[in-house]
Every structure is written in C-alpha cells, then in structure tokens.
C-alpha cells in the first residue's frame, strides 16, 4: 500500500496557549490581533525604504502584502515570514536613477526594470536550489563573503543618510534627536515596544518636529492639507518598468544579497521552532523571487524577509503562518488608502535622515554580526584580504566599466568578494596576519 501523501498546505491544528507552531492556529480574534502586530512591526522599515528611493509608499506596502501571500503559497504555508521592502535595493536604485533624495523618483520605471531583473535572478537561484540543494550557496558565499557584502550596502549608503540631516542646523538637531529616540527605545523600552524602534523612534521625531515647527514656528511646518483632502480609499499609482540594460546590470546583483538574507531568516526560524526547514529553502527563494518580480512589474520595491517579524515571533513564541496571511491582507488594504499614503508623505526630511542613519548603520553592523556569529577568523589572510578589499570598493563606490555598461560600487564589491575569495584559495599555513 502506498504511503499517504503529505498535503501541500498543513492542516492547522487549533491551539490557544503556549508555543504556537507554524502548522497550528490560534482562535480567530487572536490571529487577527497578531497579524496586525506584525504589520506594525514591519511598518517603519517597509515605509522608509520606498521614501528613500522616491517610490509611492501605497504601492510599496500593497506589494509587500501581495508578496507575502506569494511567499506563503510557495512554501506551502510552512515557513512563517513577512516580505517587506528591501533596503538592499536603495543604493543601486539611487545610482541607476540619479535620484535627488526627495519627492517622487522621475526615473522610477528604469529602477523597476532592474528590480524585475533581480527577481528573475533570484527565482532562477531558487529553482536551482530546489533541484540541487543549497550547499553550493554556502560554498560560494561563506560568512566572510556574505558579511562583507551586507556591510558594504550600509557603508555605500552612509553619505545619503548624512545628507538627509545636513540641510540646516535645525535639520541636524532634529535628525540627531530622532537617532537618540530610536536608540533609547531599542535599549530601554519595555516588552514588545523594544522590537519597534524604527516605528516608535520615527514617531517621536515626527512629533518633535511638529512641535518645533507647527507649534513654535522654528522652521517649515508640516502641511496636513493633502492628508485632509485625500480620500480614504482609492487606486494606488501603479507604474510599468522600462528595460534599461545598464540599470538591470546594476540592480540585478542584489539578488545575491537577498539570498543571504532569506537563508539567514529560514535558519533563524528553524532554530526558534525546533524544526528543520532546509527542504523549503529553494521554495522560499522562489517565492521571494517571484514576489520581487511582481512588485517591480507594478511599481513596488524589491521585497525580502524581515528581521523585525522574527523579533515579534521571538517575543510572542507564536509562529502560526496564518498570522502572516492576516498581516498581508491588512497591508493590501492600506495600499488602497490614499489618505494613508498622504500621511506617510508628511514625514519631515530630517526625521527620515535620522532614521536612515540608524537603519544604514544597522545594515553595516549586521555584516559584522554575521562574522561574529560564524566565528570568522581574521587571522587568516584569505578572509582579511577579501573583507578589506570588498569594504573599500563598496564604501568608495568604485564603478567598473564593461564596454557600454557601468557596474556600481555595490555590484563591483559583491562580485569582487565572491570571485576574490575563490581565487585566493585556501591559506598556506604561514599565511596569517
């Protein structure tokens, strides 16, 4: 007799207390409440990323919800995850579009073509992992390489973040106050609030700016007129991609960073739940890649799995994947609210700049965290040289010209790190520093 086939989706078992596994479900009311909590957790960063690139925040949050549902279907509802706007795209999108840093991005369609290209590369990697396993990824991108690539993104973006708080002395002080608020919440806030430093710190900076401008008249006040005039519901402003080869070549390598992010996410969730999720890695890459293609095709940012939501799961110990369906549907509803988008567009520039300094710094620190957690030995010349060269190329934004194409600093650093590490080979016994 043939063994019974495992259903594609789990049969979520009801459970009301204790640790809730991915294939278990809470009562409906609690599921909805937890879903809303995950929307709040990802909200700060998912809205910040499109603003820093000049994207429509309504479209971005709409496609974050759509992408989450695509991911849910791809993994058969067995890996809890929310897909939000990826910060990995910011530097290359700004470089490809020559974005000035405020307002709508006039060259948005060019960036969208590159985002779709990154999604295609990511999807192909997912299919390859489904066919052959993921061991080759770990050989190609070991921790020294992965950490360097992630750190480079933050370093490459640093000048943009600093520019955001450098318009005037007032802007600088508001930006610094926002940074302090984010740090204080991350370190001192109680319970779940500590997991929402970007959202709550940004809110603190927003209220401070409003008090000093709308209240005390010290600088340009926030204009709430567009918020009052915007309808509660309406269609977002979708956009179609333009296929520019140079932009596609510049942005597509971000897929490598997304692979590293998603690999780390799945491993972290597996450790928290006590379940081996390696069998779903290829499908996780595939779902994320398709979600990125769909987002780019409609005017949204590239998407990735979110650390903020891992934090919420760690605090609540609730891993039911149905919670993320609720979160996704909530994000889609917000995407169809012009009033929500208008409110987001009132966030002052120096507050965004302060948040950007924190977020970009955290990206850099995440690269270092990868080295620490994996015990990378920098006494080995192979590791030290690879990381040193990668960080310098990325921070200096070294562009590599290939005929009519120009590969930006992050792309050059990404491919350079992978190739240099392999070319250097194993250290000789005496090759240490």
Digit-coded pLDDT (tens) for 15-32: 877 778 888 888 888 788
Say whether pLDDT at 297 is over 60: yes
pLDDT score recorded for residue 3: 47
Higher pLDDT, 194 or 168: 168
Q: How many CB atoms lie within 10 A of CB 127?
A: 14
Cα–Cα distances in Å, from 333 out to 69, 233, 249, 412? 13, 9, 34, 39
Spatial CA neighbour of 137 closest among 248, 267, 250: 267
**Is 63 inside a domain boundary?**
yes
The domain tally of the chain equals 1
Find where tokens 């010209």 sit. 401
Question: What mean pLDDT do residues 56-61 have?
Answer: 89
Return the percentage of the chain with pLDDT > 70, whole number.
Answer: 91
Beta pairing class for 303-305 and 83-85 = antiparallel
Report residue 252: phi and psi, to 5°.
-55, -35
Say whether pLDDT at 168 is over 80: yes
Say whether pLDDT at 1 is over 60: no
Q: Which of 82-96, 111-125, 189-203, 381-395 has the lowest mean pLDDT?
A: 189-203
- Return d(Cα 299, Cα 110) in angstroms, integer: 10
Return the percentage of the chain with pLDDT > 90, whole number.
Answer: 20
pLDDT score recorded for residue 289: 94
**Is 344 inside a domain boundary?**
yes
**Is 12 inside a domain boundary?**
no
- Model confidence at 328, in pLDDT bands (50, 70, 90)? very high
3-state SS, residue 32: helix
Q: How many CB atoms lie within 10 A of CB 262?
A: 25
**Is 432 inside a domain boundary?**
no
Burial class (CB in 10 A: 0-12, 13-18, 19+), 49: buried
Say whether pLDDT at 348 is over 80: yes
Q: DSSP assignment of 142-166, as one string?
A: -HHHHHHHHHHHHHHHHHHHHHHT-
**Is 265 inside a domain boundary?**
yes
**Is 404 inside a domain boundary?**
yes
Burial class (CB in 10 A: 0-12, 13-18, 19+), 361: middle
Higher pLDDT, 36 or 252: 252
Q: Out of 356-360, 377-381, 410-414, 425-429, give the one with best mean pLDDT.
A: 377-381
Q: DSSP assignment of 250-298, as one string?
A: HHTTHHHHHHHHHHHHHHHHHHHHT---GGGHHHHHHHHHHHHHHHHHH
**Is 17 inside a domain boundary?**
no
- Return d(Cα 59, Cα 295) in angstroms, integer: 9
Say whether pLDDT at 193 is over 50: yes
**Is 429 inside a domain boundary?**
no
Higher pLDDT, 272 or 170: 170
Query: What does the mean pLDDT of the chain come to?
Result: 83
**How many DSSP H helices and E strands does the chain contain?**
18, 6
Q: DSSP assignment of 51-89, as one string?
A: HHHT--HHHHHHHHHHHHHHHHHHTTT-S---EEE-GGG
pLDDT score recorded for residue 90: 81
pTM for this one? 0.76
pLDDT score recorded for residue 10: 84
**192 touches 312 (CB < 8 A):** yes
- Return d(Cα 348, Cα 368) in angstroms, integer: 31
Q: Which residues span the domain enclosing 189?
A: 24-424
pLDDT score recorded for residue 321: 87
């Amino acid at each position: 007799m043939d063994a019974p086939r495992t259903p594609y989706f789990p049969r979520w078992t009801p459970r009301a207390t204790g640790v809730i596994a991915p294939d278990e479900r809470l009562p409906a009311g609690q599921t909805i409440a937890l879903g809303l909590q995950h929307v709040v957790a990802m909200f700060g960063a998912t809205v910040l990323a499109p603003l820093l690139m000049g994207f429509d925040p309504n479209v971005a949050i709409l496609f974050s919800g759509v992408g989450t549902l695509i991911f849910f279907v791809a993994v058969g509802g067995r890996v809890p995850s929310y897909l939000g706007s990826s910060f990995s795209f910011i530097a290359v999108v700004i470089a490809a579009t020559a974005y000035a840093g405020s307002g709508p991005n006039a060259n948005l369609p060019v960036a969208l073509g590159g985002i779709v290209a990154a999604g295609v590369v990511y999807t192909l990697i997912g299919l390859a992992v489904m066919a052959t396993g993921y061991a080759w990824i770990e050989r190609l991108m070991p921790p020294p390489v992965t950490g360097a690539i992630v750190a480079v993104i933050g370093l490459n973006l640093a000048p943009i973040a600093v520019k955001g708080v450098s318009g005037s002395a007032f802007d600088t002080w508001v930006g610094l106050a926002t940074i302090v608020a984010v740090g204080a919440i991350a370190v001192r806030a109680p319970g779940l609030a500590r997991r929402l430093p970007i959202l709550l710190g940004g809110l603190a900076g927003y209220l401070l700016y409003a008090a000093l401008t709308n209240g005390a008249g010290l600088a340009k006040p926030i204009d709430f007129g567009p918020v009052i005039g915007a309808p509660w519901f309406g269609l977002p402003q979708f956009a179609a991609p333009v296929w520019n080869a140079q932009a596609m070549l510049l942005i597509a390598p971000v897929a490598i960073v997304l692979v590293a992010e998603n690999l780390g996410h799945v491993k972290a969730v597996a450790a928290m739940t006590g379940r081996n999720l390696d069998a779903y890695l290829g499908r996780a890459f595939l779902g994320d890649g398709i979600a990125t293609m769909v987002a780019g095709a409609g005017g949204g940012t590239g998407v990735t799995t979110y650390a903020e939501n891992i934090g919420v799961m760690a605090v609540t110990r609730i891993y039911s994947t149905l919670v993320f369906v609720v979160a996704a549907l909530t994000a889609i509803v917000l995407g169809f609210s012009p009033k929500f988008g208008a409110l987001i567009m009132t966030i002052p520039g120096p507050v965004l700049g302060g948040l950007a300094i924190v977020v970009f710094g955290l990206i850099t620190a995440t690269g270092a965290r990868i080295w620490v957690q994996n015990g990378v030995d920098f006494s080995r010349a192979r590791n030290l040289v690879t990381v040193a060269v990668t960080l310098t190329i990325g921070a200096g934004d070294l562009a590599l010209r290939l005929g009519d194409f120009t590969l930006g600093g992050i792309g050059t650093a990404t491919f350079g790190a992978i190739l240099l590490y392999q070319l250097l080979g194993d250290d000789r016994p005496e090759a240490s520093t």
